[in-house]
Chain A
Amino acid sequence: MANQDAPGFADNLIHLPRNVWRSLFRNPLPSSDLGRSQTTFSNFFLHVHPVKTHANSLRPAYTFGLGVIAFSLFIILAATGGLLMFYYVPSVEQAHNRMLDLSGTVAFGVLLRNMHRWAAHGMVAIVFLHMCRVFFTGSYKRPREFNWVLGVVLLLITLFLSFTGYLLPWDQLAFWAITVGTSIAGYAPVVGEGMRFLLLGDRVVGQEALLRFYVLHVAVLPAVLLALVGVHFWRIRKDGGLSRPEGSDLPEAQKNFPPALEGKREGLAPAAKTQKTKTFGVMGLVRGPFNKVGNTPDNMVFSWPNLFVAELFCFALAVLVVLVAALLFNAPLEAPANPLHPPNPSKAPWYFLGLQEMVSYSAFWGGVGIPTLFVIGLLLVPYLDRSPKGVGVWFSRHRLLANSVFVLFLLVNLVLIIVGTFFRGPNWSLVVPW
């Protein structure tokens, strides 16, 4: 009793691949503006992005893609880290041996470990540079204050992630770096020793510390980081996208944007053609900056494909650099940790060397006081500098003071780190490295 409308079983079987594909990918690859909107709006992985992005945000020389690179590095770290977890055991007896196995018998063990290490160092540096970019372009100003605060918190979490991961190989480098680092934490008044005890799970760095650092590094901190990164991205949307200079919405401003975008004019909203018909639905009432829909010149381009290509490029670049670094340079693995044999000097990881250098002058101020003040300063920056001028431009003249102060702090930090890395020898005495 086969009905023309209802397909028979044989038909279902024949058309199985097509039907499966279609049930998965219900929208075709976009070829029209409507398609572009739909894809960005309704895809699970893409829908945190806006349907249209401002052309200024896509300028490489504006952001250098630092934020996306940082996130790409995080993905690389999560992937390589997850793989490394299959062979690593957080026990003081086994950890170092497992690291040796990873470097020896595990297929791609060396590559994965190197990738993880260099991506980790890279992420700390890139996150820091991203913060610099945001500062120098004044992008922390209203309405983006809270996003900046989130960013500072994310920086701290990144540092903490790197710190906790540093201990896991359980070699001399790891053990003593963390011993020094946690000793610095112990200098805080009143709560210092207590916090150190809580962090280490014991009075000295040992099995408890290894276990706690491991749990923090593979579970707690990545989860917190992911959650806050999610909020960070959401905030970008709510704040109206990345910051841009005044006047970048005007048609004249188009000349500032890369020729490539202009030339392709892919999906670029034509300045003249204004249609009053709406091409996508608004899902809720939005207060604050909003994108006018299709009837004013706004220098917005469709996210598909412009934004996504740019993001993919950043990701690929991150992968390339990490791969090349991993192939050229091996992550260090020193002798197994020996609590009775401190190397002289014992140095913290490079991002804390500035701290350690300061500590050698004053334990409290160098290790606790100044860093705390610095972090508080960072957090308060958007609430203390509320002038709306100079946003969206690098080194705007309106912000000479702020930028100079920040550059000074950068330079001091850099100098301290360089001194700590190259110019300090046994007993923390000054040495010349050549």
Chain B
Amino acid sequence: MSPTQESQDTRLSRRFVLTLTSLMGLMGASGIAALSNFLFFKPRVTYGEPSRFRVGPPESFPLGTRLPLGSQRVTLVRGEAGVAAISNTCTHLGCVVSTTEIGFDCPCHGSRYDADGTVLGGPAPRPLSWFKVSLAPNGEIEVDTSTPVPQGTYLAV
């Protein structure tokens, strides 16, 4: 190879390497920035009712309890299998259902559910959600309304 050609090649490949590096750097940074944007938009705190909260020790809920917790929109039930939390939000348009001995009634448009939240009548399209119930380190029952679980999931206590 002639000297000029060689130096041209070196120059080209050096140019290529530098361009590639710059491209990688900036594209990589853009990619991370995009990911960061996604993280940015996902809220880390919300300002309504907390979705995870403690309701008390298991002893406070004897067998047969069906306790509606108004502001958290959940009913705490104690069956033989343990403790569970059923949503109080009607699946039709979001009203708060009233808890009865044998089920739930929605005062807004007349939906009816049985004790497990299955729809018995009315315009509700889906059964009531069940929420994750777990045991906190200080011994209290903890309900997490941001995590739905299949119907019939109890926490054995």
Contacts and interface: CB of A to CB of B under 8 A. Distances in A.
Any A–B CB pair closer than 8 Å = yes
A208 B44 CA distance: 12
B46 A344 contact: no
A201 B43 contact: yes
Interface in A97-111: none
B109 interface: yes
Interface string A406-423: 000000000000000000
B109 A202 contact: no
Nearest to B125: A363
Contacts of A197: 42-43
Given A208-B46, A344-B108, A344-B109, A203 B95 contact: no
B123 interface: yes
A427 B123 contact: yes
Interface in A322-352: 339-340, 342, 344, 346
A226 to B, nearest CB: 20
A85 interface: no
Contacts, number: 45
B117 to A, nearest CB: 18
Contacts of B92: 427
Interface string B61-92: 00000000000000000000000000000001
Interface string B34-48: 000000011100111
B94 A179 contact: yes
A93 B117 CA distance: 35
B43 A206 contact: no
B93 interface: yes
B51 interface: yes
A303 B139 CA distance: 80
Contacts of A206: 47-48
Contact of A344 (B47, B93, B125, B145): B93
A376 interface: no
A363 B125 CA distance: 9
Contacts of A204: 48
B46 A201 contact: yes
Contacts of A179: 93-94
A346 B92 CA distance: 10
A6 to B, nearest CB: 51
Contacts of B109: 344, 426-427
Contact of A202 (B47, B108, B122): B47
A198 B123 contact: no
B96 interface: yes
Given A198-B41, A344-B109, A426-B109, A207 B47 contact: yes
A91 to B, nearest CB: 12
B146 interface: yes
Contact of B48 (A180, A203, A340, A426): A203
A88 interface: no
A47 B84 CA distance: 68
A427 B121 CA distance: 12
A208 B93 contact: no
Contacts of A340: 95-96
A353 to B, nearest CB: 16
A365 interface: no
B43 A208 contact: yes
Given A340-B95, A342-B94, 6 more contacts: A179-B94, A202-B43, A202-B47, A203-B51, A208-B47, A363-B125
When A and B form their complex, which 7 residue pairs have the shortest distance between CB atoms, in order from nearest?
A342-B93, A202-B46, A427-B123, A201-B43, A427-B109, A198-B41, A344-B109
14 contacts: A179-B93, A197-B42, A201-B46, A202-B43, A202-B47, A206-B47, A207-B47, A208-B43, A208-B46, A339-B94, A340-B96, A342-B108, A346-B93, A427-B123
Interface of B: 41-43, 46-48, 51, 92-96, 108-110, 122-123, 125, 145-146
